[in-house]
Structure 1
Amino acid sequence: MKTKSLFQSFTILFALLLLVSCREERTIDRILEEFHNAQSDYVMVAAHRAGHNGYVENSIPAIEHAINIGVDIIELDVKVTSDSVVILNHDRTIDRTTTGTGDPESYSWAELQKFRLKMPDGTVTDLELATFEEALNRVKGKAMIDIDLKTSNLKPVFDVLQKTGTLNQVIFFDSDFEILKEVQAYFPTANVMPRARSFGMADTALMIFDAPVVHIDDSFYTNELTQLIKGKNARIWINALGDQDRLINAGESDQALANLLDKGANIIQTDEPEKLIPLLEARGRRK
């Protein structure tokens, strides 16, 4: 009887583990299916510097919060230490974000671990700078990552992606087309997102890259641009950062969404993912 009971317990445990695994696969599979469908009405939401409202930007808790609220894409900024550890940090220095100072790429990983992350108001936490590998392992199977390349030392970034088996989940973002060419030389199937600063630059980017998404600015966001990008089966990434996020916070969400969506953009990066997601759901744009 004990043997039978033990067998049943193992069977139930295995079934639960299989269910969790399948659920995670379906999550990333659904997100990737939408990402590669440029004509979809589904609006993807990207959390800028992870879900950092109430959390430290580019931190593991902020990443976990972004996953929990259901974002599709988590934007992270990567740099590489002097001993080739890939870390998360937005600025040129660590002065604003940590108790340290200076360029993080001039430090070793062991040296950086002495510092602690700070909240936007300067409050010191007990958190260390996060590594890119830790972030990838937390996000694997649950969301995509937009890598904002803040380094020219790309090989350690590639090595971590290969180690974690997460290449299909990441987007490489840069306004420097030569950097994106280097990415595709190393990973021909990589998802690259060129940043365009004009209609002509978007046109050039689409001629150079088989890009699944193009990052645009609202200064040249037109129906003609939408037709160009979607005609190449690419999604259109636009930022709510700044003006549109302020409108959302001020209760003027209809105006903000009109500004963002009326010409066809279908990925929105925001500092307010907790507010944007339900607004889009209420309008049937995340079915």
Structure 2
Amino acid sequence: MNRNFGLLAFLLLMAIPLGMLAQDAPYYIQVNNFEELKAYFKYDGSKPVIISGHRGGMLPGYPENSIEAMEKTLTILPSFFEIDPRLTKDSVMVLMHDVTLDRTTNFSGNLSEFTYDQLRLAKLKDRQGNITDYGIPTLKEALEWGKTRTIFNLDNKGIPWKDYVALLKTNAYPNIVLSVRSMEEALYYHERLDKVMFCIAIKNQGDLEAFKKTGIPFNRLIAYVGYTMVAEHQEVYRYLRDQGSMIFISIHPTQDKRKTELEKVKGYAEELIKKPDIIETDYPALFGNTKKQ
């Protein structure tokens, strides 16, 4: 066996959720109600690390923020997905990270200058810049596809708060986490939606105290602590976990930027040693490739 491949396999194996190898693909995560969603994200030191696909995850041939990439990822490992709703010119919520279409599609210009009917003709590019056969999904299409398959973390890209409330107040989707940019935004949703969870930045003691003042229960919180866990905030992490909240890191601007898969996975192992509860990555499939070896 190639030495690099052997190390890659070993490091990846560290990240595979315990029990996953005994399952059969696809690795769907189904939550049927809000109580099950809260239970899924309740801290328990015996739980394996949870992997989240940033921008819906991506693989060669499978673009970010596409249903196809998420479906492909779930053939490799269980994952939930951070996705990026954005409004078209005619106020349809679609999945698109950037303001412009140039990087991720064969169209050019600002997404907000196109109607949904116009965007239906666009084709998505994968991370390597190859044009695929896949189109831009609406948020509704993604939610309908995912409600029996996975969990979504919605990273708001300019959607008015009231529009999220209108979409989610029917409780048709029991699998939703809302990423918020402020305690004000968290309180707005908390006062109007009683069956969603919140991903909120709790990076230090000050953030923790600000969250406590909101009165939002800790069982509705996933604590985003930054790009890595740091020694000086261990007391904050301990307190959050004592309240049942999971610690969430995102490595898309750090370890995901390493040049080769081997270097990436070495970086992933460095984060795993620090024992976060959730890791968000551009490349969730890299955490599950040893399943096939």
> What number of residue pairs does the alignment pair up?
256
Q: 1:48 to 1:144 in 2, by over 3 A?
A: same
Which residue is 1:224 aligned to?
Answer: 235
Amino acid across the alignment from 1:186: R
Which residue is 1:204 aligned to?
Answer: 210
> Which deviations, in whole Å up to 9, do the C-alpha atoms of 1:27-68 show, x marking residues without a partner?
436775331345443211101112311211101211211222
Which residue is 1:269 aligned to?
Answer: 280
Q: 1:36 to 1:105 in 2, by over 3 A?
A: farther
CA distance in 2, matches of 1:116, 1:201: 41
Runs of 5+ in structure 1 lacking a partner?
1-22, 282-287
Amino acid across the alignment from 2:72: H
Q: 1:164 to 1:126 in 2, by over 3 A?
A: farther
Cα pair 1:34 1:40 within 8 Å, conserved: no
Which residue is 1:49 aligned to?
Answer: 55
> Which deviations, in whole Å up to 9, do the C-alpha atoms of 1:109-128 show, x marking residues without a partner?
11222322222233222322
Amino acid across the alignment from 1:172: L
CA distance in 2, matches of 1:45, 1:112: 31
Which residue is 2:269 aligned to?
Answer: 257
Which residue is 1:28 aligned to?
Answer: 31
Shift of 1:251: 5.5
CA distance in 1, matches of 2:75, 2:37: 15
CA distance in 1, matches of 2:137, 2:97: 12
Cα pair 1:133 1:164 within 8 Å, conserved: no
Moved over 4 A (4+): 23-26, 29-32, 251-255
CA distance in 1, matches of 2:267, 2:59: 22
Shift of 1:164: 7.8
Question: Could you say what secondary structure the match of 1:65 adopts?
Answer: helix
Shift of 1:146: 0.8
Runs of 5+ in structure 2 lacking a partner?
1-25
Which of 198-207 and 228-237 deviates more?
198-207
Cα pair 1:247 1:253 within 8 Å, conserved: no
CA distance in 2, matches of 1:24, 1:69: 7
Amino acid across the alignment from 2:200: P
* 1:119 and 2:126 matched: yes
Shift of 1:247: 9.0
Which residue is 1:19 aligned to?
Answer: none
Question: Could you say what secondary structure the match of 1:171 adopts?
Answer: strand
Alignment partner of 1:171 out of 173, 177, 184: 177
Amino acid across the alignment from 1:108: T
Which of 223-232 and 242-251 deviates more?
242-251
Q: 1:93 to 1:183 in 2, by over 3 A?
A: farther
Cα pair 2:92 2:138 within 8 Å, conserved: yes
Bigger helix share: 1
> Which deviations, in whole Å up to 9, do the C-alpha atoms of 1:202-240 show, x marking residues without a partner?
432244232421111146633212112112221110123
CA distance in 2, matches of 1:101, 1:202: 42
CA distance in 2, matches of 1:83, 1:105: 8
Which residue is 2:189 aligned to?
Answer: 183
Shift of 1:158: 3.8
Question: Which of structures 1 and 2 has the bigger CA Rg?
Answer: 1
Alignment of 1:1-287 (within 5 A): 27-28=30-31, 33-54=39-60, 55-161=62-168, 165-166=172-173, 168-208=174-214, 209-210=216-217, 211-218=220-227, 221-222=230-231, 223-245=234-256, 246=258, 249-250=261-262, 253=265, 256-262=268-274, 264-277=275-288
Tell me the TM-score normalised to structure 1 length.
0.76
Which of 143-152 and 62-71 deviates more?
62-71
CA distance in 2, matches of 1:179, 1:197: 17
Say which structure, 1 or 2, has more relative contact order (CA 8 Å, 6+ apart): 2
Percent sequence identity over matched residues?
23
CA distance in 2, matches of 1:26, 1:153: 28
Q: 1:157 to 1:31 in 2, by over 3 A?
A: closer
* Root mean square deviation of aligned Cα: 3.0
CA distance in 1, matches of 2:81, 2:201: 17
> Which deviations, in whole Å up to 9, do the C-alpha atoms of 1:138-183 show, x marking residues without a partner?
11122111111112423444444456811x2111012233222222
